[in-house]
Chain A
């Protein structure tokens, strides 16, 4: 009896995976992993003979396997149970926090800083410039990281940047964030900060540049979602995950319009429909765009240009109240002439808003050379 169950159970399990691949339609995109999945490879003799085809089939099957997301969760759970403290490039931190590994390549980091400095030197006489360098979660909560783990908190790296950029306003919001470290400043499951965390960095900008900032309690705050599973969760999904919630601050008197690179417009700073997708952080300014313009009913009449990564998406909604118009450039995607943009823009202020993990690892600062 037992041997029959073992025999048929084994055969059934293997063949149901086979049947599922044959019968079920292939998935194209995994919102869990935030990537396009491998599709059925085409057979060619050339690729068969050099082995590429077999590799492609293995990749295809691993991606399309039945219950893939659940199986990946089983694996991370098992690793966590065995006291492994990291998986797939993320650490399992305290209190349900995931912490992305951070061990930057110093040469690349310095190269990026050189690109920025070169750009700064070119324009610093004509424009006011400010650089906000956001620390990542372990820079504020060093106790989150597993003991002895080889992950840096980034304090040294912030100093390096400060040294490079001493000619312009350099804003390190670490102190401001630490003043509020009992609040919900970073997402547990995502590599971004929350809008609340972004607010304190915004307040630091305002203090440094002499801008008016509303008190955080003067905003209307609202919990727009309480089931956000972020990008770090996707890398090592645990079934014991504590999902994040998305807190948003609205200026009750603010009126805004966002114009995207393709000319489409949004009469809000927030893309409500993205709350129904997996990556709910794209609620802020509709996620990554090569170029957007944010207009507001600010009485200042001032114009700003912003170079940024996605950490800025939670911060710019505050800054929009200080500038009537902001042009926002993402160097990863923007390929038009920067000099032209700057010379035609009549900007009162140029901002750089980046987080440490991004500025130490991204390859696109070279585009600042124009």
Chain B
């Protein structure tokens, strides 16, 4: 019994010593964005996640962010280029609202594009927030550049679609209602876009991937930003285009078909990559453009207006750009399908619906920026808002694109109208038409005439999409709607 106090002492001592970390473990199941990133490698995996935001989820759920997969709804289908399979001014569905310029603030495609884009911006901001874990200077600049490119890419689309926007240039707390819902002037958004793209053009490493942002992708996008400003910076845009042109890295392909069906070719500067047959990595838009192959009965069909323009100015691009829907060959109204994105190159057999692979899991990349676009932007920058130009360099770039299409009739002067038409047919169904019309100050006149001829009602306020009603409601009165909605 006399040892009792010693035993008690030892036990007490143990109690003090052994409790060191056993009761205070690092919880291994709760990795959050706040504590995950500890190395440059981890940050780089996060960066891939930002691209995934643009790539979008291949599903039929309206709640998933579909990113660029649903972009055609809010861009191409709001022009004279495409419509639903059966255009109808009475069609009040979400897709039907687009073609008839009768978009409602509750439109789901509008909401989806808005939230997808801000999700990408959020993810980019997370990467930028965690940059301090990178020690190597070049790696730091490369990751910063790519993240800023992606943020600028998303904002550039949003600002042209919605006008004034909330400025989210850092990770914001969900409770910070003011930052999330206060719309700032377009020019402030453009300032951020320009500075982001300048950083990107400086810092991005030469990684050799065309499905990731490169220095040239940043320069090309920045050139387009300069052309899109309220007071365009034509000279800066021209210099950027010339830097890309003289790099010798890019070339027009001889065969227009190969631009779309041999992926990552010499003409591509930046594309969103997809892989065929894998749910998580494939895209749905190729199937949606077919007749009842995707989740819809068929959307983004070429209008007769677009067909007429392509027939007249397309040259050898015509047969690649669209085709007659095979299902209408057996009777019924003749309709035209977009020909640039057949699922994995399969045209769907005699009825356009029979595929050996899985058309809903298509792997066609989405081309964001290609060399023909750069050449035509070069001409546009030299034209500098004038009616026409005799500049030989402007006509050279224009003719480079034209001669690939089989035209050799070199004009002595290049007019703005000719350039706009050339962009329409060269870049048809590539989600450029809407932005081109706005940039050339031709949106109101062209779309008014198109709407009148097709029984739709277009007013100039339709050029800006409505801020999604969801956002207006969540903002508790802080967010105002665009005029006309």
Q: Do A and B come from one complex?
A: no
Residues of A within 8 A of B (CB): none
Residues of B within 8 A of A (CB): none
